Amino acid sequence: MTRTSPAKVKCKGINQIAIAVKDLEKVAENFWKILGIGPWAIYNWGEPLVYDRKYHGKSARVREKVAVVQVGGVQLELVQAVEGPSVYRDWIEEHGEGLHHMNFLVEDVEETERNLAEEGFRCIQSGRFGPPEKQYAYSYIDIPPLKTIWEPVHLGEEIGAEPIIFPLSLCEKKCSIVN
């Protein structure tokens, strides 16, 4: 017997699991040394790459460092708050370091945000990233019954920024110092 969910928003797969951290490089290094996860692509996540940001519905200047790596079919992300008010800083202050959100891909972030708002779940931070013509967007939705924040995101092939590769960059730096 097939059952159909009454949900207006349908998550067809988890694209990413994110962890809020205080020291991104240290945690990335720990994943590399303990579980062999890496190398990591690290981005400075702020203007001009990330723009039109809102925090609790108000415009905000925010900057983070993010590190991403693909682990099987799921992207693992580490996020470190650097500047400005953010859901990551709030999370660490309230819960400490750890699982922050899961994201899933959608065609229209704003429509997904509206549908979840109708269910009583509010957007706590949002923004756009990458080339403006691509309309890449994200929104963090606080969904207490699901025990974490969920991030509907619309993205394409590339975000328009070159990452720093870690720990390869670290190894190259140490090797050049030794030689």
pLDDT in tens, the chain (179 residues): 778 999 999 999 999 999 999 999 999 999 999 999 999 999 999 998 899 999 999 999 999 999 999 999 999 999 999 999 999 999 999 999 999 999 999 999 999 999 999 999 999 999 998 877 777 899 999 999 999 999 999 976 666 678 899 886 544 444 333 32
List of residues 6+ apart from 66 with CB closer than 8 A:
24, 42, 43, 45, 77, 78, 79, 80
How far apart CA 160 and CA 127 sit, in angstroms, is 16
Give the pLDDT score at 171. Answer: 45
How far apart CA 47 and CA 33 sit, in angstroms, is 32
Give the pLDDT score at 168. Answer: 66
Q: Are 164 and 45 in contact, with CB atoms under 8 Å apart?
A: no
CA proximity to 140, closest of 129, 149, 131: 149
Give the pLDDT score at 67. Answer: 97
CB atoms within 10 A of CB 147: 7
Give the pLDDT score at 177. Answer: 34
List of residues 6+ apart from 170 with CB closer than 8 A:
25, 29
Q: Please report, for residues 4, 156, the alpha-carbon distance to residue 1 in angstroms, rounded to integers and kept in the order given.
A: 10, 36
Give the pLDDT score at 175. Answer: 36
Q: Are 24 and 65 in contact, with CB atoms under 8 Å apart?
A: yes
Give the pLDDT score at 158. Answer: 67
Helix H segments across 72-167?
87-95, 109-118
> So what CATH class is 16-172?
alpha beta
Give the pTM: 0.88
Q: Are 53 and 125 in contact, with CB atoms under 8 Å apart?
A: yes
